[in-house]
């Protein structure tokens, strides 16, 4: 559960006062330390950009020919990552959406010219996140994508903050209506309304993810949502959001974990909130 005082983490810091300073870094940051100590800070800063020096590991998955993990210097463009390294889309459908996790707005082809460092993407209203990129072509429905993301965030909500717990649930219910043929324009309007308030006075960033991404997906792919509110879905291929277990180097394929059965069964999922 989130703590009442920073740092808002379980088991980090012995007490609530500033006499217990805490440094939080991820594994990728720590992996740079030996090389920086060995070669010096100037060597590290000679790579990448002024804003984002060194190298970063980018994970590329989804509808892309060459999925994998790439250690790259920041500053390459989204297009270079997707086409020069990723090889472009698998089939004959052009790419339509790139998600850098669930905390940032979705990248679409008109943004593929952007350089990939933290400052450039932040200034354009996007973000690198942890550099895990999920790529989808034009055979994929973004209503289903929004539904799965919202459902994931709703399940992940710890329940401590009411706006988050209720907001993510309500948005998921409206997306459920749209995804399964019972939706209307009213569901779309209600998603915007709930997204505007679900992050009010919450202790962690989870509800912000919902409030950022749900309106953005609808605005970016409004035709998908209007179609669902009218005659239903006209896309062939279902969405897969990969939970990566490992990577097969020889086959150049990610080994993915399947969704748990209860995640896909709506009645069992919503019974949790009854």
- Per-residue pLDDT band for 43 (boundaries 50, 70, 90) equals very high
- Per-residue pLDDT band for 15 (boundaries 50, 70, 90) equals low
- Per-residue pLDDT band for 2 (boundaries 50, 70, 90) equals low
> Is the pLDDT confidence value at 18 over 50?
yes
User: Distance between CA 19 and CA 57 in Å, rounded?
Assistant: 34
User: Distance between CA 238 and CA 256 in Å, rounded?
Assistant: 15
- Per-residue pLDDT band for 250 (boundaries 50, 70, 90) equals confident
List every span in the chain annotated with CATH 3.10.20.600: 56-137
Question: What's the Cα-to-Cα distance from 126 to each of 98, 114, 198, 200, 215, rounded to whole Å?
Answer: 11, 10, 21, 21, 14
Q: Taking all residues of the chain, what is their mean pLDDT, rounded to a whole number? A: 87
Dump pLDDT digits (tens) for 54-79: 999 999 999 999 999 999 999 999 99
Dump pLDDT digits (tens) for 21-39: 566 678 888 999 999 999 9
Higher pLDDT among residues 128 and 239, named by residue = 128
Region 158-172: mean pLDDT is 93
Region 137-144: mean pLDDT is 94
Residue-level pLDDT at 260: 60
Task: Give percent of the chain above pLDDT 90.
Answer: 66
Residue-level pLDDT at 273: 36
User: Distance between CA 215 and CA 112 in Å, rounded?
Assistant: 21
Residue-level pLDDT at 254: 85
Residue-level pLDDT at 234: 74
67 contacts: CB under 8 Å, gap ≥ 6: 60, 61, 86, 252, 253, 254
Residue-level pLDDT at 22: 60
Higher pLDDT among residues 236 and 197, named by residue = 197
User: Distance between CA 82 and CA 52 in Å, rounded?
Assistant: 20
Predicted model pTM: 0.84
User: Distance between CA 247 and CA 244 in Å, rounded?
Assistant: 8
Select 142-234's CATH number: 3.40.1350.10, 1.10.287.70, 1.20.1440.230, 3.40.50.300: 1.20.1440.230
User: With 0-12 CB in 10 A as exposed, 13-18 as middle and 19+ as buried, what is 228?
Assistant: buried
Region 246-271: mean pLDDT is 66
Region 247-273: mean pLDDT is 63
DSSP string for 191-206 = HHHHHHHTTTT-SSSH
> Is the pLDDT confidence value at 80 over 60?
yes
Q: Does domain 56-137 have CATH number 3.30.360.10?
A: no
Residue-level pLDDT at 270: 42
Residue 133 near residue 77, CB atoms below 8 Å: no
List every span in the chain annotated with CATH 1.20.1440.230: 142-234
Dump pLDDT digits (tens) for 212-249: 999 999 999 999 999 999 877 877 677 877 678 888 88
Element at 31 (helix H, strand E):
helix 27-39
Residue-level pLDDT at 272: 36
User: Distance between CA 109 and CA 266 in Å, rounded?
Assistant: 33
């Amino acid at each position: 559960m989130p703590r009442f005082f920073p740092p808002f983490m379980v088991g980090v810091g012995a007490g609530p006062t500033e006499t217990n300073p805490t440094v939080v870094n991820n594994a990728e940051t720590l992996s740079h330390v030996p090389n920086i100590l060995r070669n010096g800070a100037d060597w590290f800063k000679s790579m990448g950009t002024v804003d984002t020096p060194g190298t970063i590991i980018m994970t590329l998955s989804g509808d892309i020919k060459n999925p994998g993990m790439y250690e790259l210097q920041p500053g390459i463009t989204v297009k270079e990552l997707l086409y020069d390294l990723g090889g472009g889309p698998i089939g004959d459908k052009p790419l339509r959406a790139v998600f850098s996790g669930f905390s940032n707005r979705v990248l679409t082809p008109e943004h593929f010219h952007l350089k990939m460092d933290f400052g450039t993407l932040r200034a354009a209203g996007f973000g690198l996140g942890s550099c895990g990129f999920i790529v989808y072509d034009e055979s994929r429905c973004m209503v289903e994508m929004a539904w799965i993301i919202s459902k994931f965030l709703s399940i992940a909500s710890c329940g401590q903050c009411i706006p988050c717990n209720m907001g993510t649930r309500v948005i998921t219910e409206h997306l459920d209506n749209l995804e399964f043929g019972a939706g209307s324009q009213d569901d779309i309007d209600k998603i915007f309304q709930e997204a505007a308030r679900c992050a009010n006075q919450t202790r962690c960033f989870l509800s912000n993810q919902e409030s950022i991404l749900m309106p953005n997906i609808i605005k970016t792919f409004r035709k998908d949502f209007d179609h669902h509110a009218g005659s239903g879905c006209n896309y062939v291929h279902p969405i897969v959001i990969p939970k990566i277990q490992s990577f097969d180097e020889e086959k150049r394929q990610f080994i993915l974990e399947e969704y748990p059965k209860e995640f896909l069964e709506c009645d069992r999922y919503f019974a949790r909130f009854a």
